[in-house]
């Protein structure tokens, strides 16, 4: 009788191989989910960093256009009117975009009342020359099917009246 009880205890005391495999499978499934979440968060951090840099570069192009307008006049921006251009550190508008990680360009287009409206109670004589400046920065060359697209545009109105 005592032998039967000891045999029953020995048979029930350990884990079966199926239980161990199921437990390990659940642990691996949980850990793979954690790894996937971490990889997605790293990708989002990189996208946010690139977007932050792109915003700075786009604002810088528009600010350079304003500096040229203030120092040499709005006619000095003729290169950028209806054409992609890049304003370099020497404040020279060039008809090309720089190569590298961030592609930048600035384009000035004729303004509409919707883009840059003057309040009706304000009368300006002579009528100012106004342009809508759109600075576009893109990054991630060679990255296919990236969502959201690695591109950012910032726009502003540039006029020759003060």
pLDDT tens digits, 21-78: 999 999 999 999 999 999 888 888 888 898 999 999 999 999 999 999 999 988 899 9
Lowest mean pLDDT among 4-13, 23-32, 93-102: 4-13
pLDDT of residue 159: 85
User: CA-CA distance, 55 to 31, in Å (whole number)?
Assistant: 36
| The pLDDT of residue 153 | 93
> What's residue 74's pLDDT?
87
- Beta-ladder partners of 126: none
Range of the domain at 152: 2-159
Q: What pTM was estimated for this model as a whole?
A: 0.72
Query: Helix (H, G, I), strand (E, B), or coil: what is residue 154?
Result: strand
How crowded is residue 103: how many other Cβ atoms within 10 Å of its Cβ? 20
Does residue 17 carry a pLDDT above 70?
A: yes
Maximum CA extent, the chain: 115
Peptide bond into 66 cis (omega under 30): no
Number of domains the chain contains: 1
H-type alpha helices, the chain: 2-12, 17-72
Q: What is the dihedral of CA 48, 52, 58, 61, to 10 degrees?
A: -150
Summarised one tens digit per residue, pLDDT across range 110-129 is 887 677 766 667 777 777 78
């Amino acid at each position: 009788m005592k032998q039967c009880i000891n045999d029953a205890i020995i048979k029930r005391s350990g884990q079966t191989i199926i239980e161990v495999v199921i437990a390990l499978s659940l642990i691996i499934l949980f850990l793979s989910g954690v790894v996937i979440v971490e990889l997605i968060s790293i990708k989002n951090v990189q996208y946010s960093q690139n977007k932050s840099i792109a915003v700075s570069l786009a604002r810088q192009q528009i600010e350079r256009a304003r500096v040229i307008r203030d120092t040499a006049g709005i006619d000095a921006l003729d290169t950028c009117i209806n054409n992609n251009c890049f304003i370099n550190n020497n404040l020279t508008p060039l008809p090309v975009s720089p190569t590298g990680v961030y592609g930048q360009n600035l384009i000035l287009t004729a303004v509409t009342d919707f883009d840059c409206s003057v309040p009706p109670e304000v009368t300006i004589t002579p009528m100012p020359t106004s342009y809508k400046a759109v600075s576009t920065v893109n990054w991630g060359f060679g990255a296919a099917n990236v969502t959201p697209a690695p591109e950012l545009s910032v726009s502003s109105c540039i006029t020759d009246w003060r």
